[in-house]
Structure 1
Amino acid sequence: MQKRPFGQTGWQVSEIGFGAWAIGGSWGDVSDRDAEAALNAALDEGMTFIDTADVYGDGRSERLIARVLKSRGRDGIVVATKAGRKINPHVSAGYTPAAIEGYIDASLRNLEVDALDLVQLHCPPVEVYYRPEIFEALDKMVAKGKLKAYGVSVEKIEEALKALEYPITSVQIIFNMFRQRPIERFFARAHEQQVAIIARVPLASGLLTGKLSAQSTFAADDHRQFNRHGEAFDVGETFSGVPYEIGLKAVEELRAVAGSVPLAQFALRWILMFDAVTVAIPGAKNREQAAGNAAAAGLPALSDAQMNAIRDIYTRLVKPHVHQRW
């Protein structure tokens, strides 16, 4: 597992990390046993970056991470969490220094640490990016020793670009073969400012595993069922905002480009072709999925022909549905 520098922190993190949304909730039932097995497998394979949030299972994801790391040690592991999505209604006015600090205090308890490695504002309303006092409050919490660094998780490119006006450490953004716009407008700016990029939803909610079909069904508590059209949160979080049938059609063409390589690993390796990306964070619900994700880091670089073919599939099938929306 290769490592990449995480912004200006001095941290070196694995280029494939562990996305811990699935072990918290909203992805169907995942037992504690399977969740812990997935985490342990990821760490055994050399992953050193774990991404979670306070709302993943109302703290369940954070507590599971704490339990696993307590049993095996935290040395060399960076745990990133997020705060803000508990604000209800989720509007800019709810983002106050006191509210954010309260969520940070809860995450400190859940993760059983004295200081959080990285706290990210969790896809806040766009107005929050125009309120410097929120970022100043995060600076004060760094000074207090409650967190070591902070960043943002965004929905839109425009939010990511605005966030770069503040002294952030990282930006988490949806980036995968179905969401390529960050290449055009964001990567160079972030790289120039030495801001780490965390590529989330790297497998488009499972579409880019190649294991879904028109007959696939999802549990009632799986966001791929209850947020298919953006009923609960931004539709771009589910299947990357790509209409399901269009995504399946594109996947069939991508299979031919991937050849004998499992499509999920091929999709992750494509992300790693971009030097601006610091870490991709696929989720895993069991040991096998975690090990498969890690294996992507060992694949050879994609050829120019493969990169061009992927760009063509995106341009023809996917781009009209997503490119200007996010």
Structure 2
Amino acid sequence: MNYRKLGSTDIRISEISLGTWQVGGGWGGNFDEKAAADILHEAIDGGVNFIDTADVYDDGMSEAAVGRLLKERSEQIYVASKCGRQINPHVSEGYTPEVLRKYVEASLKNIGIESLDLIQLHCPPTAVYERDDIFELFDRLKEEGKIKHLGVSVEKVEEAQLALNYPNVQTVQIIFNMFRQKPAETFFGKASAKDVGIIVRVPLASGLLSGKMSRDREFDPNDHRHFNRDGQAFDKGETFSGVDFEKGLDAVEELKGIFGEKASLAAWALRWILMFEEVSTVIPGASRPSQIKANLLSSALPAVTNEQLEAVKSVYEKYIKADVHHLW
């Protein structure tokens, strides 16, 4: 495992880490504590030292599983959680320092720790990025020892750029992958100039970039890949990175030809992201331990060549860019 500095913090984290949206066994299913434990322990065994969770993942059961992990391991494990998505309706007016404070304190209790290494605003409405009172709250929480660092998780590049206006924002979590390339063009350089760490989520476009899906693939009715393709429940960019499923499959076939069969497309998709030095870590999820093992192999792959980088860009421009580039 290779480790990278997380922005201006003093933390060095695994370049492949773990996102825990589906850590209980998969999107749409019942939470399985044993499956969650097996996945989390497999990650730590492989050198992962950074776990990203959220209070809304499986109604807090993801956070609780991370808390159990911390009690069972002796390694240094950095924990990031998120707050704000419980607000309903999810509008700027619902965001208040009092409400967010309660969420952070509830997460600390749920995980069983006294201080979070990183707390992130969880994809708040754009208007929140212009509210000083919200960001000032986290200075108070830091003074109280309840958090060590503040970050934001965003939907749009515009929001990421707004977040950079706050000196206490040390990380930005953003969707970036072969099907969502805009952040590298318009945001990464600005984040680097301010020494803000970049956490990449949805690196495999909800599994599209695994190279294992087919047109007849059926998803559980409770899986967001079934019910949220048009943004019925939340931003559609979280589902297949906003890419049309059929068109994405066509693009995947061309990507497979670029990289060949020596490693999976999923591994190459992660390695492609790691080619961008501004990225601090990538947080693919996993619904079983074998996926952890497969994801970690990407760190050992050779560098993506310039020719391959150009070929990936061409596939993006041919199939994807017109549909997604202007939206996020």
- TM-score (norm. length: structure 1): 0.98
Aligned to 2:144: 144
What is the one-letter code of the residue matched to 2:190? R
Bigger drift between 81-90 and 17-26 goes to: 17-26
CA contact (8 A) 1:23 1:284 kept: yes
Identity rate of aligned residues, in percent? Answer: 53
Aligned to 1:303: 305
| 1:31 positional shift | 2.2
Number of residue pairs matched by the alignment:
325
Taking the TM superposition and a 5 Å limit, the aligned residue runs for 1:116-127 are 116-127=116-127
CA contact (8 A) 1:26 1:223 kept: no
CA contact (8 A) 1:54 1:107 kept: yes
**1:202 and 2:200 aligned:** no
What is the one-letter code of the residue matched to 1:63? A
What is the one-letter code of the residue matched to 1:22? Q
In the aligned structure 2, how far is the partner of 1:26 from the partner of 1:298? 26
Aligned to 2:193: 192
Aligned to 2:240: 239
Taking the TM superposition and a 5 Å limit, the aligned residue runs for 1:23-42 are 23-24=23-24, 27-29=27-29, 31-42=32-43
What is the one-letter code of the residue matched to 1:13? I
What is the one-letter code of the residue matched to 1:66? G
DSSP-derived class of the 1:81 partner: strand
In the aligned structure 1, how far is the partner of 2:188 from the partner of 2:133? 26
In the aligned structure 2, how far is the partner of 1:219 from the partner of 1:69? 31
In the aligned structure 1, how far is the partner of 2:18 from the partner of 2:286? 7
In the aligned structure 1, how far is the partner of 2:70 from the partner of 2:225? 29
DSSP-derived class of the 1:102 partner: helix
In the aligned structure 2, how far is the partner of 1:279 from the partner of 1:287? 19
CA contact (8 A) 1:120 1:153 kept: yes
Aligned to 1:158: 158
- TM-score (norm. length: structure 2): 0.97
CA contact (8 A) 2:13 2:50 kept: yes
DSSP-derived class of the 2:69 partner: helix
In the aligned structure 1, how far is the partner of 2:136 from the partner of 2:267? 40
| 1:28 positional shift | 2.7
Aligned to 1:289: 291
In the aligned structure 1, how far is the partner of 2:176 from the partner of 2:281? 11
1:316 to 312, 315, 318: 318
Structure 1, unpaired ranges of 5+ = none
1:273 to 269, 272, 275: 275
| 1:26 positional shift | 7.0
DSSP-derived class of the 1:142 partner: helix
What is the one-letter code of the residue matched to 1:170? T
CA contact (8 A) 2:179 2:205 kept: yes
What is the one-letter code of the residue matched to 1:57? D
Structure 2, unpaired ranges of 5+ = none
In the aligned structure 2, how far is the partner of 1:200 from the partner of 1:126? 19
CA contact (8 A) 1:41 1:287 kept: yes
Q: What CA RMSD, in Å, does the superposition of the two structures yield over aligned residues? A: 1.0
